[in-house]
Structure formats: structure tokens, C-alpha cells
Structure 1
């Protein structure tokens, strides 16, 4: 199966506690990171593909080394397709690729995309990018993205898959923090976001 996530921000201690950007109610970075690892692994198997849409890790003023980030990523189950975010470096991707391996026969643990990925499922096209795309009027074309932590792009087809994205609140069943989204959950978010935006537009008339 295919799953989607973004903006894990491993090591990012400045997000701990209450803030206006991306509050994370954990007592320490170690607890936050382990919680995301545990919740990821509770859902994902090595046969699954997980698209990570950028901003893997961050520690302002003291960037974690490539080896530290690689160690975190190797604790996560599945085959990871890493799309570069604004806080990810090409040096990191080169380091991970240098130490890459097959998680299953012929299935590398890591694959990489510098800008984004185009994929199809459920008779629709999905553009997977770190930054949200302004696509205009579209039909069965969706943008899965990250980057924005605390509000929604007011377009139903733009779906934030970040760990702390407000779109996750639209799901009927709340996911534990750090859980990648399934294809079915992406569709549920789209349907509910479209209905919500339609309702808000009607209220403004």
C-alpha cells in the first residue's frame, strides 16, 4: 500500500510546547521522535511505500548530522520515497543514498525526488510536492503537500499531509501523531474539505 506524510521535523525542539506555528505537546525531543517512530511503525510494513513530502528533520542553530537523520529514518518501516523540503539538504540525500540497501529483494529502502512526484490512483492524478501548488480549476487532479503547519490552503484539491496539518482533524478517526495517511484517508479528507469550503462560501454570501 501507499502512504503519505510530511514535516516530521525530527530533532526540532523549538516546536515543543505551545506555539502559534506547530505546537507539539511533548516533554522532550526524544519523546516526540520516539512517538512518531512508534506510531509510524504501528501502521507501516516493509512492503508498503511511504512518500515523505519534505522537512524530515531540523534543529535550528545546531543542524543534526546526516548520520543522525539516517539513523532515525532507518528505524521507520517501509520503503521511503523522500521528496526534498526546504529544510532538507542534497548532502543529506547523498549520504542516505550512499548507505542505501534493499529492504526487500529488489526494493530499495530509499528513493529520492528533488522537486516532486506525479502518481495516479483511483482514476486521478496526484502531484506530490513539499510546497503547495496553486493549480486553478482542475478535474481529478490533486496536490498532496506539506510545508504549511497551522492552516489549510482554501482549495479542496490541495491536501496537506503533514504530521500536524489541520486537514487531519477532518478525519472521522483521529490518527496518532506521526502516522502516515492512507489513500482512503486522503480521499476522506478531500470529500470533507470540499464540503467544508462549500459551506463556508455559502455563509459568506
Structure 2
């Protein structure tokens, strides 16, 4: 199985009282709960793509976290990852790769991966024979903030826009499959693409997939 998650922010104490207001008494408690939820879902041979901001700890602290997390791990670099990545004591070999941007395939769908949301992403207009969008843009970074409200507004307006391409007889709504894989949306648990699609639809109160 392949899972995705963003913005765990292990060791980020300020998020207990600022921005996220995470419901933990201490950062140590937060770390332990996130590790437990991760390992309850992920098995040793599963793949987990981390969409940035894994940890605010130093190299040694982040190594200790990574040694306890199950799965084969891939990192999309976020703005808070540089502290441990540049630490001489950090062992980067726990990651299969570390990239700023990637495009992969997941069950015959193209997945665009970046820490920051990409509004006009590669392959956005690709659809299957039944009209189902075939490309998803997975990101993190914005947490549950006013920026999320703006991204949601963009997605709603984009999906309401009709456009006719050279390969279509009639105009169709523009696909916009941008999903924020923020860990608090999934109760700190890595999810598959299908699970993130369902989670995103519930969060937005959407039942369509256009």
C-alpha cells in the first residue's frame, strides 16, 4: 500500500498553542500519539510519501522518530525540514529519496507531489473515458488556515468553469483535484489516495469528484 501525509511537525511545541492548537499537553505526548497512529496503519513494506514538514527536531531527534516509524519513506522537502536535513548527525538513508517535487503514478492515476499547493499542475486536464479526472495534486504547507479557505475557493470556482478542448465535443467543468494532506485532517494517520479523496470530500461537504 502507498500512503500520504503532510505537516506532522514532530517536536514543534508552538503548534500546541498557536495556529493548529493541537490538543496535547506536551510535545512528547504529541510525538508518541502520532507515532502510535502511524504504526497502527502502516506496515513495514508499505510506502509513505511525506509531503513536507516532518519534524522541527534536530538530526538526532528526527533520526529517533524515523527509526520508530514503519514503512518505506519518501520525503517531499518542506520549509521546516532543512534544520534536520542539514544537521551532520542526521542519517538521510531512512528516506528512499528526498525531493522538492515529484510526479508518480498510483493505481493508474498521475500524482503531482509538492509541499506547496500548485494551482495549475501538470496533467490537470487529463480524464478517463468516463470523464473521471486522472491527475491529483497532493500538498501540505497551509494547515487549516485562512489559506485553506482561499485554496478551497479557487478549487470551487475552477470546477464551476466550463471549458471545451480540441478533444471534446462539448464544454466540461475544469478538473481541479488539489488535496491538502494535512495530518490533522486525517487524525494524524497516513491515508491512501482513495482515503484522502474521501476525506477531502467530507471536509468540503462535496459529493462530486470533478
What is the TM-score of this pair, normalised by structure 1?
A: 0.74
Give SS of 1:87's match: coil
The match for 2:38 is: 40
The match for 1:91 is: 86
Unaligned runs of 5+ in 2: 127-133, 156-175
Aligned counterpart for 2:189 among listed residues 179, 183, 192: 179
Q: Deviations over 1:174-202 (max 9, x none)?
A: x5x3210112202324555787398xxxx
Aligned counterpart for 2:105 among listed residues 114, 117, 120: 120
What is the TM-score of this pair, normalised by structure 2?
A: 0.73
Give SS of 1:181's match: coil
1:148 to 1:135, Cα distance in 2 relative to 1, 3 A: same
Contact 1:66-1:92 at 8 Å conserved across structures: yes
Q: CA RMSD in A?
A: 2.4
Larger Rg: 2
Unaligned runs of 5+ in 1: 59-63, 101-108, 169-174, 199-205
The match for 2:129 is: none
- Count of aligned residue pairs for this structure pair: 171
Contact 1:53-1:129 at 8 Å conserved across structures: yes
Contact 1:49-1:80 at 8 Å conserved across structures: yes
Partner Cα separation in structure 1 for residue 119 and residue 74 of structure 2: 23
Q: Deviations over 1:12-31 (max 9, x none)?
A: 111114x4x21201000010
Note if 1:163 corresponds to 2:188.
Answer: no
Contact 2:60-2:89 at 8 Å conserved across structures: no
1:183 to 1:32, Cα distance in 2 relative to 1, 3 A: same
